[in-house]
Chain A
Amino acid sequence: MANLFSSIVQAVRNVAGFLSSATWSGIQSVVKKELIQLFRDPFLVAFIVLLPIAQLLVTGLAISKDLKHIPVVVCNYDNRNDSLELVKTFQNSVFFTVGADDFVDSETELDRLIRKGAYRVGLVIPPDYSRSLLKPNDTPTVRIAIDGSNANIARSIQAMSNLVLSYHTALVASQNPLAATVSALQKTPIESVVHVLYNPDLKTAYFLIPGILALIMHMMTILFTSFAIVRERESGTLEQLMATPIRVSDLMIGKVIPYAIIGLADMLLTLGVMVWFFNISISGSFWLLLINSLVFIVTSLTIGLLISTTCKSQVQAVQLTLALLLPSMMISGFVFPLEPMPWFVKIFSYLLPITHYLEIIRGVVIKGSGFAELWGYTVVLLALSAVLLATSMMRFKKQVA
């Protein structure tokens, strides 16, 4: 740990050294050249402006709808009034729909339809349902069949159907004094009132869309700089450039600055889509989010820079970037929570900048967290970009000499 710390300190010192050796005029000329080249390529401009928006729209629309109005296949052996009431409760809930065509005669038919994938859930009402509802010592049992092939959906359906059933129990109890005694027996001794903070509706979109935004921006900005130096190496312009007295620091910083500006513009565009299209308002400070986003963009750009100094061709650069995409999705807390991961996976998780930025963007957007809660993540991002920048500069120096 002390070793890691001292090496980070050394890297920061290196960066400081490089930065102090950088000349403004050198940086300026590289920035100017990069911007001219960038805006001369209409395809690239379209790519930079439209791609993040399009990606956010498509993926956002795909995941923003929570499960609702799931069709239920019903096999009603009872067919008396009470059982029809139960079906009606299912039908009236926002979670399920039961159409006229959704009734089958046998349980085997119901199972077949679920196996076929026509329905995700089925309701089987036994022949003695109404009778046992009226018997004081009997509890009617209904069978809920759920397609478990997608565990996430199955779990949600299970929760929803439980909710509907308990609601129906209460409904029946209020109308039927005899049945009331039955439900009284079933009644749980402790009732809990759950108060969900920050995202009261428990909308998946609230949680996922800021994450998707972060992921898109991460990939975009890494790609920006991972091409930056490889492209010049491939076309041979790097050789000519290296024969001039330009400093490595000037070149590196000159490559980062224009893309940081463009990355920030992209960030504003995608945040706009999030706020006005997906109606997810930023609970915390917009400026805090923007400054942290800039830090995150710079960190991603330095990753790209390191890829760029490592690779010999643009194809290699793309491959390395893609290799980084999967862990950025899987172990960053983007989809799966970090807490249950084993410690050796967690080490890699915390080395990924996106892990920290996810905490920041979710914190500011959903919880309205402030600087006091988030400064730790900002510091980690800054340290990561310092280490990455120093490493790419040192690698690059060796290649030139």
Chain B
Amino acid sequence: MATPTYSNQPGDIAVQTVDLVRRFGERAAVDNLNLSIERGEIFGFLGPNGSGKSTTIKMLCGLLSPTSGSATVCGMDVATDPELIRSRIGYMPQKFSLYEDLTVQENLDFYAHLYGVNGAEGKRRKQEVIDLVGIGPYQRYLGRQLSGGWKQRLALCCALVHEPEIIFLDEPTAAMDPVARRELWDLLFSLASSGVTLFVTTHYMDEAERCSSVGYIYNSRLIVSGGPDELKQAREVVGQGQVRYELMCRPLVASFNKLKQLQYVNDVTIFGQALHVVGDNALTADLLRTQCAEAGIDARDIRKIEPSLEDVFVALTKAHEAQSTLPDVRPPETVLTKTWDVIQPVLRPIIQKFSATTAASPEEAPPNG
């Protein structure tokens, strides 16, 4: 196996895509994706279901070939060196994809063997990942006997056994309870601190807040990427001269309805016991307070707040929804519709001719008939 050329300096690019496109039929699942992820980062890839997150990961792991554009992983092109890339990355699919009828140990042995991690080195490495993940007590359990959290840990074990430089995790915490979720993230942090690059897709905003950089994909397009703090300053979120306040009101719902009527107030949302008000720049805290007093709202603890990532993504999604319409999707074809498409041009003139003659016949009929 040829030694790939890559340097291990900090600030290296681990994953880069240039105008990456993947189409399924006419529909683009990923459209002109441009990403750049630095080595050692935890990159959070966010977006609603079906927005193209998994497709992107599969392309980067060499499981799907791009329709156009290019992607480099560990400095190698996914189109030309998929095998070399695979030996240096780890992949954890969305669904548990290890053998349910093999034990934890057997699954790990199998994957270690496939990655060429053998002998004393293999033994050491396997013990290392078992200790790291803490799956030791479950070694003799069958895959199917594990709970969701432990299944994911086993998958992580198998994805880590060959000391990959990058790990791709497709919604690793989707089916996990909060405790298991927290523990997995602690694991991911410790991995990142040891220099591994993590590419994680998720739905959870609190997870996104923990990433060192975030990309948001919507409708197959990357809308924004950057550090979570950078995103909160994005033009779509704050650039339009918007301010955010949090206030405590009682009664909550009545105040919520009254607040919406106030001047300069654009949006009000309920956050637990508090209300978040989004308004124009002209809305100062004092103005809000006097307005509340005039409207008879019992508002306390008014303070200016930063937008959360959720606010960012909601604002971005709304901005893009306004721009783009749903792609025009044809109903699925069947043999019958296809046949109809073929015979239609032949049949139509005949039908027209027929209907023309029947329509014309009463006129041609003699008046006394």
Residues in A with CB closer than 8 Å to B87 are 244-245
Q: Tell me how far the C-beta of B167 lies from the nearest C-beta in chain A, rounded to whole angstroms.
A: 11
Cα distance A206–B90 when bound, in Å? 58
B116 and A41 within 8 A (CB): no
Which residue from B65, B89, B102 sits with its C-beta under 8 Å from A33? B102
Q: Tell me how far the C-beta of B83 lies from the nearest C-beta in chain A, rounded to whole angstroms.
A: 5
How many residues on B have C-beta within 8 angstroms of the other chain's C-beta atoms? Answer: 30
Which residue from B63, B95, B96 sits with its C-beta under 8 Å from A242? B63
The interface size bin for chain A is 20 to 34
Residues in A with CB closer than 8 Å to B102 are 33, 36-37, 40
Write the chain B residue with the least CB distance to A240: B97
> Would you call B204 an interface residue if the criterion is a C-beta within 8 Å of the partner chain's C-beta atoms?
no
Per-position binary interface string of chain A over residues 227-266, scored 1 when its CB falls under 8 Å from any chain B CB and 0 otherwise: 0000000011101111111100000000000000000000
Per-position binary interface string of chain B over residues 91-112, scored 1 when its CB falls under 8 Å from any chain A CB and 0 otherwise: 1010111111110001000110
A244 and B111 within 8 A (CB): yes
Cα distance A26–B113 when bound, in Å? 7
> Would you call A25 an interface residue if the criterion is a C-beta within 8 Å of the partner chain's C-beta atoms?
yes
Residues in A with CB closer than 8 Å to B63 are 239, 242-243, 400
Cα distance A245–B116 when bound, in Å? 9
Write the chain A residue with the least CB distance to B115: A244
Write the chain A residue with the least CB distance to B83: A245
Between A and B, 27 residue pairs with Cβ closer than 8 Å are A25-B116, A25-B118, A26-B114, A28-B113, A29-B110, A32-B110, A33-B102, A33-B106, A36-B102, A37-B102, A40-B101, A41-B101, A235-B100, A239-B63, A240-B91, A240-B93, A240-B97, A243-B62, A243-B63, A243-B93, A244-B86, A245-B84, A245-B86, A245-B115, A245-B116, A246-B114, A401-B62
Which residues A193-241 have CB closer than 8 A to chain B?
A: 235-237, 239-241
> Would you call B312 an interface residue if the criterion is a C-beta within 8 Å of the partner chain's C-beta atoms?
no
Residues in A with CB closer than 8 Å to B42 are none
> Would you call B227 an interface residue if the criterion is a C-beta within 8 Å of the partner chain's C-beta atoms?
no
Residues in A with CB closer than 8 Å to B69 are none
Q: Tell me how far the C-beta of B48 lies from the nearest C-beta in chain A, rounded to whole angstroms.
A: 22
Cα distance A240–B161 when bound, in Å? 14
Which residues B136-166 have CB closer than 8 A to chain A?
A: 155, 158
Cα distance A136–B7 when bound, in Å? 116
> Would you call B82 an interface residue if the criterion is a C-beta within 8 Å of the partner chain's C-beta atoms?
yes
Contact status of A243 and B86, CB under 8 A, knowing A25-B118, A401-B65: yes
Q: Tell me how far the C-beta of A254 lies from the nearest C-beta in chain B, rounded to whole angstroms.
A: 10
Contact status of A239 and B106, CB under 8 A, knowing A25-B113, A25-B118, A244-B114: no
Residues in B with CB closer than 8 Å to A25 are 113, 116, 118
Q: Tell me how far the C-beta of A128 lies from the nearest C-beta in chain B, rounded to whole angstroms.
A: 71
Cα distance A33–B111 when bound, in Å? 10
Write the chain A residue with the least CB distance to B107: A33
B101 and A245 within 8 A (CB): no
A33 and B110 within 8 A (CB): yes
A37 and B97 within 8 A (CB): no
Q: Tell me how far the C-beta of A397 lies from the nearest C-beta in chain B, rounded to whole angstroms.
A: 11
8 closest A-B pairs by beta carbon, nearest first, are A240-B97, A243-B91, A29-B113, A245-B87, A236-B97, A245-B86, A244-B114, A236-B95
> Would you call B184 an interface residue if the criterion is a C-beta within 8 Å of the partner chain's C-beta atoms?
no
Residues in A with CB closer than 8 Å to B89 are 243
Residues in A with CB closer than 8 Å to B83 are 245
Which residue from A36, A240, A400 sits with its C-beta under 8 Å from B98? A240
Write the chain A residue with the least CB distance to B106: A36
Q: Tell me how far the C-beta of B302 lies from the nearest C-beta in chain A, rounded to whole angstroms.
A: 51
